[in-house]
Structure 1
Amino acid sequence: MDVPNSLLEEAKRREIDIVDLLSKALGVDPPSRASAHLKLARRFLEEGEALVEKDPIQASEKLYKAAEEAVKALAVALGLEEAEKAEEQGRWTTTLLFTAVDKISRSEGEEFKLWWKSAWFLHVEGFHVARLTTEQVRDEVNPVVKCAVLY
């Protein structure tokens, strides 16, 4: 079944996390939910890396989304309360993401927080403000790759 783009766009506009929404509706177990987030992280990472030279603005957002999905995957896999709250709400807030990053970095190492900060920098300066050059975006790819795929 194909989901109409209008529904997907409305969910995106409302910042509804489709993975969490469907997982809750279908009663999907946490390992499967974490796996779904990780698959999205890898997809966004590939798309972002492919766009760095062509469109640094879109590359910045895709790379950020890769890190965001990695955080969600880890939060679910580690059983963090932030993942439970996001599932209940049907969306991840910035506060939930940053709190999850703090907890993950305590268990996985402070480098995780630094990698997340690179992704956040891309999200804000590269996408929202659109003031990063291709070279500046390229410089942040490796930290995001580590955040998105090492865990």
Structure 2
Amino acid sequence: MSNVNLLSASDVLLKEADEFLEKGDVVQASEKYYKAAEEAVKLLTKALNLQDILQKVKEEGYWSLGILHDAVIELSEKLNDNRIVDLWKSAVIILTANLSKDILIIEAEKVRELVELADEITNFKLD
């Protein structure tokens, strides 16, 4: 049986973000990078079955920024990996600040690291 590389939603969003960045569309690229990080956090939360976070989502009906923040903190604790908080901070900066292309490139690498971590933990492979 051959190996199949599955791409997560985060992987697809990263690729789209990179394409927007190449075209010089910093706004669209920023939105896609943030969304990639958000999807990575959701994937990890579901994969690690963080029931209290999933219950909050069910009660509110959506993933609010507050729930995502709580998920990041819980993921960091569960995985004993403080990098997750720092990587998520980059996603929030990308979402909330009007970054130059040069700074976006730097912050996007941190988002890429978060996505790769989620892929690794959930057995997805990034092409």
CA offsets 1:14-47 (integer angstroms, 9 cap, x no match): xxxxxxxxxxxxxxxxxxxxxxxx7211111111
> Which position in structure 2 is the counterpart of 1:147?
114
Q: TM-score, normalised by structure 1?
A: 0.67
In the alignment, the residues of structure 2 paired with residue 84 and residue 69 of structure 1 have an alpha-carbon distance, to the nearest angstrom, of 17
> Which position in structure 2 is the counterpart of 1:8?
none
Residue identity in the other structure for 2:105: R
- Alignment match of 2:84 (pick from 72, 87, 112): 112
- Alignment match of 1:103 (pick from 74, 94, 118): 74
Q: Which runs of 5+ in 1 are unaligned?
A: 1-37, 126-130
Q: Which has the higher contact order (CA 8 A, sep 6+)?
A: 2
In the alignment, the residues of structure 2 paired with residue 40 and residue 118 of structure 1 have an alpha-carbon distance, to the nearest angstrom, of 19
Judge conservation of contact 1:49–1:141 (CA < 8 Å) in 2. Answer: no
Q: Are 1:64 and 2:34 an aligned pair?
A: yes
> Which position in structure 1 is the counterpart of 2:122?
none
Write out aligned runs for 1:1-151 (5 A): 39-53=8-22, 54-80=24-50, 81-108=52-79, 109-125=81-97, 131-151=98-118
Q: Which runs of 5+ in 2 are unaligned?
A: 1-6, 119-127
Match of 1:52, SS state, is helix
Tell me the CA shift for residue 88 of structure 1. 4.5
In the alignment, the residues of structure 1 paired with residue 115 and residue 54 of structure 2 have an alpha-carbon distance, to the nearest angstrom, of 17
Which structure 1 residue ranges, 4+ long, deviate > 2 Å from structure 2?
87-90
RMSD, aligned α-carbons? 1.8
Residue identity in the other structure for 2:78: S
